[in-house]
Structure 1
Amino acid sequence: MNITTSIKPDTILANCTLLDPSDETYLNHPIIERFGSPSQPIYVDQCNVDINGVSYDNPLILPIYDGQLNLVQCAVLQDGQRVQVMPDGLAQGFARYGHFDHAEPIIVTYNLEAFFKIAQTGYAVALVILPSLCDAQHTEFKPFDFEQMQYAINQLSKAGYTKLYMPVRPEHVQLEGFQKLEQDTALRLLNQHIVIDEQGIKTDYLIELYKDDGIEDVAIFIDESIKRLSSSGQWGELLPLAQPETSVNSTYPIHALPPLARDAVIAIAEHVQAPIGMTAQCVIGAMSHIAQAHVNAPHPFNPQGEPCSLYLLTEGQSGSRKSTSRNMADKAIIQHERKQYELYRRDLEQWKSGQASLNKKDKEAYSAENPPPHDPSTLYSDITLESIAGLYVDGILNNASIASDEAGQFFGGYTMKGDTRTQAIGGYAKLFDDGFVERTRSKSNLNGSGRAYDVRLTFNLQGQHEVLSDALKDPVLRGQGFLPRFILTIPENLAGTRLQDAIYRSKNANHDHRLIAYWTRCEYLLDDCPRPQGGQELYNGRYVIPMNDEAREIDASFYNMFEELQGKGKRYEYLQAFASRASQLARRLATVFAYFEGLQRIDAKTLTGACEVVKHSLNEWAMYADIEVKTESDAERLIKWLIRKCIEQKTSSLSKTLAMKGAPSHLRKAKEFDPCINELIEFNYVRLVTINKSTYIELNPLLLE
């Protein structure tokens, strides 16, 4: 049976056999024999299944759920083979066993054997779906594996499940990765290495979650580990206080990209060993370059739409594989350009031959009747606005990209410095907004002056923090709207983790089916561009990809959300120039996604994904402290006052009634005071205790040290 990647999960399960743990077929299934039994019914497809050219014999099927416990996908498992997720190819949730209760613990694991074992204990357990789940031995994780873990954990956390625990060995070579998960999410780690002190004798135990381990031992380990966490860290770690809606999630929303592009992003990251955010920006840059020549983004007031061109900016350290990532993402474009350039060189030689033997007068006549061919190049790494404007005005170019991993040269170059900067900023802004460029030369040199309409430019700039920092904080570049047009990401630095074993060195990117599919799609859009359907009108060779009704509702909600967040005291009060463009950037990015996927309309899923990328960009801009003026929150003011009063009175607690009366003036009513206290409790700064029927605010001892 051949399964397509678009098949719905309920259809998959309907065609499977549900086996009971007492069935002999259940006990003899290769996955159960290899990884143990969850003592729960399992779904098995009792056929030979072919997925993307890979055969799966009698595979086990795991349902995948999102944070609201809705069935969203299925995972296809066979011992020793890569896990396949249907549809979309990338897990957008987790597998689960047990009853999920917001008040009870949920154990999260990335290991199939542990998943089955924990399921037998009665604890609710969630399994992060990694492609390597069924590998014989899996001890090393890629950066994307940790991102997948964080994605599943955040889904549960956002759905209200806060008692999340993950067993982990303390000597794991990538322990820092798990510790970062604990730091960045609601997850708490359960140390599998424990020491038990009985009558003065200390005994070391390393708890393993293997299929042959006793259920009672595993249950006791989880029980005791959770109790130790509760008793040893009653206060918990002091977390940074922030204003509402100020949490920054630096993980790039890879799930937001279309499936084909998303797989390419992951594949490039694996082969190049570059951060996901960096490879994602490179792939989006390639898609924007291709799409801008053929489609326009929908505009609320202009039926002809607006350019879908994108300005992209990525910060990356020296040696972070910026060039290699971009070259791999642009491979189809580069090859296409090379073919076009070879044709141009041939035509140029013919043109030169045609006038070689002519005198000066005849050459002029020949050139007038036979204009020389133009260089078809559209990818530039270092070109000034003056030069590219001339190419537009002269009709040589209609669509171009400036793609460079030396963004410092761009921001520090002559064009963006001194007297020419203001003109350049305005020129790039007009190109972005209207696809319009104008070049005006002096009266003594009018040749080359003129205007060009309906031209397009994509930026894909990458550079080091040391070089970009001053430019990104430049008030002129921000205030005149140049930087706010950019989608920014600041991916993690992978230096020190990019080890290459024999398996890695045996891989060949040119044979990776994910990249082949992506490059093939790019080639198709470059060579044999599909025309609009359904009577869509062409405007100078481009057509608008409209939004459907659901997408329009999402667009309105997204606009209103970011409009409200620009208000006084809100998240983007000091990032108004950036936040005000969020809706526009999301529509453009959604247009690029839709064109690449071959959609005739922007649907809800596509626009939602684009919104996630834009939200990520705004959070990244907010990381530059000089852009967003940090104001002290009410919770910060209150805790400072509480600390000062406790130190003055040499106590660790204050009466809540007296604290409210003496608090900063605008917090002396319960309506304002209680939310601040609740925030301080949530972030482990204070807790409420009852003494003789009176409520007291007790401070975390760490604050009084």
Structure 2
Amino acid sequence: MSAISSIEARALATLESVAYRSAPEPLRRPTPPPEPYPLAELGDVLKPAAESIRRVIQAPDAIIGGSLLAAASLAAQAQADVHIDGRTIPLSLWVLSVAESGERKSAVDSEAMRAAREYEKELANAYAEDSEQHAADVAEWEARRDAAKTEAKKANGDGMADNLRKLGPAPPVPLLPRVTAADFTAEGIFRLLSEGRPAIGAFTDEAALVFGGHGMAKESVMRTAATLCKLWDRGELDRVRSGDGAAKLYGRRFALHLLAQPVIAERALSDDVLAGQGFLARCLLAWPEGTAGTRTYQAESLRDDPAVQRLATILLVRHRLALPLAEGQRQELAPRALVLDADAFAAWRTLHDTVEGHCGPSGRFAQVKPWASKTPEQALRIAGVLTLLENPDANRIGKATMERAGELALWHLNEALRLAGTAELSPEIRDADALLQWAHATGRSTIYSRLVLNKGPSRIRERDAFQRAIGELVRAGWAEPIEGGRRLDGAHRRHVWRIVPANEGR
């Protein structure tokens, strides 16, 4: 390098250093790290299985805990309700877990839902046999009906009504053998609960199917959210349509677990309808830090793990329990009552009053009042699920279980508080943040448009999205355009930007 070239290089470095003397503005409010997930509070059935899944799959604790709680709720929700001061609280839990691709959400979901999927196979096999028997029963019923009509016609119709009443209605069709649904609409859930089992769940490791599907489209999201909220609250649904009249369903239960990537979760959290209808506030939120990059291969099969096998067996037994039905009904549930003993009630009341005391204008939970207002009820639901896991015949919730459930509910409330403000970010800011994080993670002090469009974050690999994102970085002082471009990666690049290192932006 010539002396002149050396001087020019030092001058350029000096200019770049001067350009970065003013610290850039933050793009978003710094999000504090999550608190450790209280895995120990899951109890004697879920905790050992959670520890085994963590050891082998090595997913974030909150993903494991949320998956197991949701699967347990699906298995237990039909059997009992919590009764407290004249109110009936279903055991249905809704969980929204957020993690990047590669955080092994699907692997955890597969283990948590093993029993439910096995039971669904059993129902499908039985449904095939029942359908054959139903066809034969209907043929016999129709023959008897036709004979009754023929006999009555010979007597000028006398006795036809009595004969048909004695014959009774046609044999009912077998219930649809569904335990879960992945992609759904309000109408689809209504149909499934009308024609199938009265206790089901929406479980998917691809929440984009839900939040990006027809049920959550702009014209239908309000109806879907309102429908689901009624199910969570009271286990009831009603529908009025000009074509098929009015119908109302009672005694239904609906659990839910949506595993989402951040880009999908951000859209959901920023949806005013989902927030305003209370759908999100009914969800136990979890957005843990990832474990990718820290995992070593474990040569171990969870199919042979005693704790995971025990959990699968217990959940399968709970699924197979006879449904407690209202008298004369084959789909309306009448779950038995679970009550709190005196010590458990005292613990729950302390939780209730403590959370409520922090909901005022200057309180800790002022920003997340919708979630805070549901937390005492969430604790009751979790306590009921944990109780039935350990004793399927239980009718009382003890203090220790109530305290564990309270810790779990409070963790999710604090998680909602930690994430407060995420919904307020514009897509441009989220894209800019993703671009900056990518540049820092890959150690790039300069970037150019073609590089980002080919190798950058997937959410900004379109030119318009990239231009908006880089514009936000320039305005905030995190990026500076290099006039005239620069030669990089073997070619002259026209559109080049310097990126402020992370340690200079503190």
Q: Which residue of 2 aligns with 1:282?
A: 67
Mapped partners of 2:146, 2:177: distance in 1: 27
Q: Say which SS state the counterpart of residue 278 (structure 2) adopts.
A: coil
Q: Which residue of 2 aligns with 1:406?
A: 206
Q: 1:629 to 1:606 in 2, by over 3 A?
A: farther
Displacement of 1:367 after TM fit? 12
Alpha carbon RMSD of aligned pairs, Å?
3.1
Amino acid at match of 1:520: T
Of 229, 234, 243, 1:434 maps to: 234
Mapped partners of 2:277, 2:258: distance in 1: 19
Of 346, 354, 358, 1:553 maps to: 346
Displacement of 1:446 after TM fit? 1.6
TM-score by length of 1: 0.49
- Kindly indicate whether the alpha-carbon contact (under 8 Å) linking 1:574 and 1:629 is maintained by their aligned counterparts in 2: no
- Structure 1 residue ranges without an equivalent (≥5): 1-241, 532-538, 631-704
Residues 277-329 of structure 1, C-alpha deviations (whole Å, 9 max, x = no match): 11111111111011111010233332xx2211111110011122222211211
Mapped partners of 2:334, 2:374: distance in 1: 26
Displacement of 1:628 after TM fit? 8.8
Q: Which residue of 1 aligns with 2:117?
A: 334
Of 159, 164, 175, 1:374 maps to: 175
- Kindly indicate whether the alpha-carbon contact (under 8 Å) linking 1:390 and 1:439 is maintained by their aligned counterparts in 2: no
- Kindly indicate whether the alpha-carbon contact (under 8 Å) linking 1:384 and 1:415 is maintained by their aligned counterparts in 2: yes
Of 616, 619, 629, 2:411 maps to: 616
Q: 1:529 to 1:371 in 2, by over 3 A?
A: closer
Amino acid at match of 1:549: A
Q: Which residue of 1 aligns with 2:317?
A: 524
Matched, 1:462 2:263: no
Matched, 1:266 2:51: yes
Q: Which residue of 1 aligns with 2:268?
A: 471
Displacement of 1:372 after TM fit? 3.0
Q: Which residue of 1 aligns with 2:128?
A: 345
Q: 1:625 to 1:369 in 2, by over 3 A?
A: closer
Matched, 1:309 2:92: yes
Mapped partners of 1:340, 1:282: distance in 2: 23
- Kindly indicate whether the alpha-carbon contact (under 8 Å) linking 1:315 and 1:463 is maintained by their aligned counterparts in 2: yes
- Kindly indicate whether the alpha-carbon contact (under 8 Å) linking 1:309 and 1:457 is maintained by their aligned counterparts in 2: yes
Mapped partners of 2:252, 2:173: distance in 1: 22
Written as runs of structure 1 = structure 2, the 5 A alignment for 1:138-537 is 249-302=34-87, 305-352=88-135, 369-392=170-193, 394-442=194-242, 445-446=243-244, 449-500=246-297, 504-505=298-299, 507-528=300-321
Amino acid at match of 1:565: H
- Structure 2 residue ranges without an equivalent (≥5): 1-28, 148-163, 325-331, 426-505
Mapped partners of 1:456, 1:623: distance in 2: 30
The structure where helix makes up a greater share of residues is 2
- Kindly indicate whether the alpha-carbon contact (under 8 Å) linking 1:337 and 1:376 is maintained by their aligned counterparts in 2: yes
TM-score by length of 2: 0.67
Mapped partners of 2:404, 2:32: distance in 1: 19
- Kindly indicate whether the alpha-carbon contact (under 8 Å) linking 1:437 and 1:453 is maintained by their aligned counterparts in 2: yes
Displacement of 1:368 after TM fit? 5.6
Displacement of 1:530 after TM fit? 11
Q: Which residue of 2 aligns with 1:235?
A: none
Q: 1:619 to 1:349 in 2, by over 3 A?
A: same
Q: Which residue of 1 aligns with 2:484?
A: none
Q: Which residue of 2 aligns with 1:204?
A: none
Displacement of 1:625 after TM fit? 4.2
Q: 1:400 to 1:367 in 2, by over 3 A?
A: farther
Q: 1:489 to 1:387 in 2, by over 3 A?
A: same
- Kindly indicate whether the alpha-carbon contact (under 8 Å) linking 1:314 and 1:488 is maintained by their aligned counterparts in 2: yes
- Kindly indicate whether the alpha-carbon contact (under 8 Å) linking 2:266 and 2:422 is maintained by their aligned counterparts in 1: no
- Kindly indicate whether the alpha-carbon contact (under 8 Å) linking 2:78 and 2:333 is maintained by their aligned counterparts in 1: no
Mapped partners of 1:316, 1:329: distance in 2: 17
Displacement of 1:627 after TM fit? 5.8
Mapped partners of 1:528, 1:470: distance in 2: 39
- Kindly indicate whether the alpha-carbon contact (under 8 Å) linking 2:176 and 2:197 is maintained by their aligned counterparts in 1: no
Q: Which residue of 2 aligns with 1:603?
A: 398
Amino acid at match of 2:77: Q
Amino acid at match of 1:446: D
Q: Which residue of 2 aligns with 1:662?
A: none
The structure where strand makes up a greater share of residues is 1
Q: Say which SS state the counterpart of residue 220 (structure 2) adopts.
A: helix
Mapped partners of 1:450, 1:529: distance in 2: 26
- Kindly indicate whether the alpha-carbon contact (under 8 Å) linking 2:93 and 2:255 is maintained by their aligned counterparts in 1: yes
Amino acid at match of 1:470: R
Displacement of 1:604 after TM fit? 1.6
- Kindly indicate whether the alpha-carbon contact (under 8 Å) linking 2:367 and 2:420 is maintained by their aligned counterparts in 1: no
Displacement of 1:395 after TM fit? 4.9
Mapped partners of 1:570, 1:412: distance in 2: 35
Q: 1:354 to 1:611 in 2, by over 3 A?
A: closer
Mapped partners of 1:517, 1:446: distance in 2: 46
Residues 626-656 of structure 1, C-alpha deviations (whole Å, 9 max, x = no match): 26999xxxxxxxxxxxxxxxxxxxxxxxxxx
Q: Say which SS state the counterpart of residue 248 (structure 2) adopts.
A: strand
Mapped partners of 2:400, 2:288: distance in 1: 24
Mapped partners of 2:134, 2:321: distance in 1: 28
Q: 1:623 to 1:474 in 2, by over 3 A?
A: farther
Mapped partners of 2:33, 2:352: distance in 1: 20
- Kindly indicate whether the alpha-carbon contact (under 8 Å) linking 1:298 and 1:587 is maintained by their aligned counterparts in 2: no
Displacement of 1:410 after TM fit? 1.1
Displacement of 1:571 after TM fit? 1.3
- Kindly indicate whether the alpha-carbon contact (under 8 Å) linking 1:272 and 1:325 is maintained by their aligned counterparts in 2: yes
Q: 1:628 to 1:462 in 2, by over 3 A?
A: closer
- State the aligned residue count: 370
Amino acid at match of 1:496: G
Q: Say which SS state the counterpart of residue 203 (structure 2) adopts.
A: strand
- Kindly indicate whether the alpha-carbon contact (under 8 Å) linking 2:38 and 2:408 is maintained by their aligned counterparts in 1: yes
Displacement of 1:262 after TM fit? 0.7
Mapped partners of 1:580, 1:468: distance in 2: 22
Residues 175-224 of structure 1, C-alpha deviations (whole Å, 9 max, x = no match): xxxxxxxxxxxxxxxxxxxxxxxxxxxxxxxxxxxxxxxxxxxxxxxxxx
Deviates more, 1:337-346 or 1:349-358: 349-358
Mapped partners of 1:614, 1:578: distance in 2: 10
- Kindly indicate whether the alpha-carbon contact (under 8 Å) linking 1:479 and 1:577 is maintained by their aligned counterparts in 2: no
Residues 64-85 of structure 1, C-alpha deviations (whole Å, 9 max, x = no match): xxxxxxxxxxxxxxxxxxxxxx
Displacement of 1:263 after TM fit? 0.7
Mapped partners of 1:523, 1:410: distance in 2: 26
- Kindly indicate whether the alpha-carbon contact (under 8 Å) linking 1:316 and 1:491 is maintained by their aligned counterparts in 2: yes
Mapped partners of 1:618, 1:356: distance in 2: 56
Q: Percent of aligned positions with the same letter in both sequences?
A: 27
- Kindly indicate whether the alpha-carbon contact (under 8 Å) linking 2:38 and 2:407 is maintained by their aligned counterparts in 1: yes
Q: Give the structure, 1 or 2, with the largest relative contact order (CA under 8 Å, sep 6 or more).
A: 2
Q: 1:375 to 1:390 in 2, by over 3 A?
A: closer
Of 567, 571, 577, 2:360 maps to: 567
Q: 1:247 to 1:499 in 2, by over 3 A?
A: closer
